[in-house]
Amino acid sequence: MEYKVIPWKFKWCRLILIVTMVVLSLRLWDLQVMRGGEMRRLSEQNRIRVKKVIAPRGVIFDKSGRVLADTRPSFNLYITPEDIKDFSQTVDGLAKLLNIDREDILEKLKMASGFPPSFPVKIKPDVTKDELAKVEAHRVYIPGVSIQIEPKRNYPYGKMMAHMLGYVSEISSEELKIKENKSYSPGDYIGKYGLEKTYEGYLRGVDGEKRVEVDAMGREVRTLDVIDSIPGNSLYLNVNLDVQQVVENALENKKGGIIVLDPKTGAVIALVSRPAFDPNKFTSGISKQDLKAINADPGKPLMNKAIQGGYPPGSTFKMVPALKALDLGIVNDKTGFSCRGSFSFGNHSFACWKKGGHGSVSVHKAIVQSCDVYFYNVGLKLGVDRIHEMCEAIGLGPKTGIDLPGEIRGLVPSTEWKRKTYKQPWYEGETVSVAIGQGAVWLTPIHLVQLSAFIANEGVTFKPQIVNRVVSPEGKTVKTFEPVMKANVKMKKDTFARVREGMKGVVNEPGGTAYSSRVQNINMSGKTGTAQAGSLEKGKHLGDHAWFIAYAPAEDPTVAISVLVEKGGHGGSESAPIAKAITQTIFKANTGAKEAQTNENR
């Protein structure tokens, strides 16, 4: 150094360089070594999106393999919160583009707020082709919005079988909170009604996963790996679509419920409730207006009247006191009561439906012509508790255990019931009403099909069963539902013979209340019922519920039927023809019954 330099300044410089090196190294040590693992994880989380590959739900087939519910591809609209750059730009932009309520979007996003921001939130399921095109065209302006093709539940027959099949729909926030639904996340579909609900565990597949790499805009760059989804198991029903079709048509534009089952196994051949709804509307997220309309409908389309509608059974109920009285020997086939058109008890007069009266009535005639006075007498002789006891034995009252959700109990009163419920003693006069299926008796169509099956099968009933078997996607039978015996009551052979003769006569003897519905080539047995919807005493007619229970063939029944047409009028004219059509379809005895002068009433 020839010139005066100031060495201490260079020493300072050297020191600064050393300090720089130390600071940078320490910071990098902290970032890359101490926190490196965490940072690596964050960077992976940045770029890798786990996308759900939704498993197709199991298919539902009828007995002969016709598709009742399947899946079809649909385009669903998602928002991934993490990929939103400007919140209002994306949300408002989307709301404007597709004319969706902004609040709806916010609500959906809120529902998924417990999930990581990389979790795509379903905003609108099943968007139309037009909407799809709009979204694709404006994609750049609404970052975070994406479209995914996913399987969607499809019910090809629409309203038909709606109450049996039920529907699937997006899981609600309440359902998400339930422990059993731990494996679900927002936007997942879950069976909400009908078989879809009962057999959710079988029908739901196992969703797969696709790991994709996305860039900072949320665009998929490449697929890293895929775990395939496993489709759900299929259900084969006991239902015969041809019979179902006939039953559906029979109830068109009416209200009511019908069940057809095999008394020997409990297999449900057809089940209908009307009015019905279109389950397809629910799967694509039912609009508020549609839901409002359905809820406001006085016919209650969402109610499965076959298992949820409690009605007075009317004269169909007469089979209960008939069975009990014959079995106990209180009456026999020779016992006769005289009917003059009314029956006095206490200071009250109970009318028979036939104003002129039936004259001298035996048990056979009483069933065939549905004489009220006969059963007023029998009822009084039995007492309400023995009627109740018989119902318990048959299974009228408790739930039948059909594999559908929401079944209700029925009610057959007893002295104990009245004491417990009203803290009042039972009055004999009430027994008179109960004996003909009025008063406090409330039963559902499925209860009454069990009554029919009980008689058809001579004391044995089975749990009504819609699903026959569960079949895996590979075609292996996972589970077969064997008949489950519900009632097995030992009664005198004679008792059943008398009652069955009576029920055969209802349809096949001139003067029988359903004589006009007799079927050629095959004997159908049945019992009509016309139940007053209003109170019996006041006689204020709100319209009568038309009942008909039946089984066929009379000799060795393989079908039991229960038909209810709500406020339909007379059982013999309204409901019996439906049973006839059903029987004809099943036995293919498609020859019109002869016109006959009828006595179609009770």
* Contact set with other proteins (CB under 8 A): 1, 3-6, 9-10, 13-14, 16-17, 20-21, 23-25, 27-29, 31-33, 35-40, 42-44, 46-47, 85-86, 213-217, 221-222
The residue (of 33 and 296) whose beta carbon lies closer to other proteins is 33
How many residues does this entry show for the chain?
602
Tell me, what amino acid is at 227? I
| Torsion angle of the four alpha carbons 21, 27, 33, 38, in this order, in degrees rounded to the nearest 10 | -160
Nearest distance in Å: CB 149, other proteins: 24
For the bound state, the minimum distance from the C-beta of residue 227 to other proteins, rounded and expressed in Å, comes to 22
Question: What is the distance, to the nearest Å, from the Cα of residue 405 to the centroid of all Cα atoms in its chain?
Answer: 6
Which residues, in sequence order, are CB contacts of 40 under 8 Å at separation 6+?
none
Q: Cα separation of 56 and 195, whole Å? A: 16
Report the residue number, 178 or 217, with the smaller CB distance to other proteins.
217
Nearest-approach distance from CB 48 to other proteins, in angstroms: 9
Q: Cα–Cα distance between 313 and 257 in angstroms, integer?
A: 13
Q: Which two tokens stand for residue 73?
A: 């591809």
What is the amino acid identity at position 495? Answer: T
Whose Cβ is closer to other proteins: residue 24's or residue 137's? 24
Rounded distance between C-alpha atoms, residue 78 and residue 127, angstroms: 11
Residues facing 72 on adjacent strands: 152
Min CB(143)–other proteins separation in Å: 12
Q: Cβ contacts of residue 128 below 8 Å, gap of 6+?
A: none
Which residue's entry shows tokens 């089979």? Answer: 319
Between CA 192 and CA 282 the distance in angstroms is: 10
Tokens of 129: 């082709």
- Minimum CB–partner distance for residue 213 and other proteins (Å): 7
- Alpha helix stretches (DSSP H) within 436-523: 445-456, 493-508
Q: Are strands 460-462 and 48-53 parallel, antiparallel or unpaired?
A: unpaired
Catalytic annotation, residues: 315
Cβ of residue 19: shortest distance to other proteins, in angstroms? 10
Q: Among residues 144 and 166, whose Cβ is nearest to other proteins? A: 144
> Quick one: 19 or 485, whose CB is closer to other proteins?
19
432 phi and psi angles, rounded to 5 deg: -55, -45
Residue 11 CB, nearest distance to other proteins (Å)? 11
When the beta carbons of 37 and 592 are compared against other proteins, the nearer one is 37
Instruction: Tell me if the bond preceding 275 is cis, omega within 30° of 0.
Output: yes
CB burial readout 343-365, b (16+ within 10 A) else e: beeeeeebebbbeebbeebbbbb
Nearer to other proteins, 13 or 149 (CB): 13
Smallest separation (angstroms) from other proteins to the CB of 226: 19
Of residues 6 and 296, the one with the C-beta less far from other proteins: 6
- Complex with other proteins: residue 63 or 210, whichever CB lies closer: 210
Q: Minimum distance between the CB of residue 27 and other proteins, rounded to whole angstroms?
A: 5
For residue 159, which phi and psi values (nearest 5 degrees)?
A: -65, -25
| Least distance in angstroms from the C-beta of 215 to other proteins | 4
Rounded to whole angstroms, the Cα distance separating 268 from 243 reads 11
Q: Residues 6 or more apart from 498 whose CB is under 8 A from it?
A: 322, 326, 333, 363, 364
Cβ neighbours of residue 340 closer than 8 Å, sequence gap 6 or more = 357, 373
Considering the complex, state which of residue 29 and residue 427 has its C-beta at the smaller distance from other proteins: 29
- CA dist., res. 3 & res. 312, Å (int): 121
- What is the spatial distance between Cα 36 and Cα 14, in angstroms, rounded to a whole number? 30
| Long-range contacts of the stretch 251-255 (C-beta < 8 A, 24+) | 251/565, 251/578, 254/565, 254/566, 254/568, 255/299, 255/305, 255/565, 255/566, 255/567, 255/568
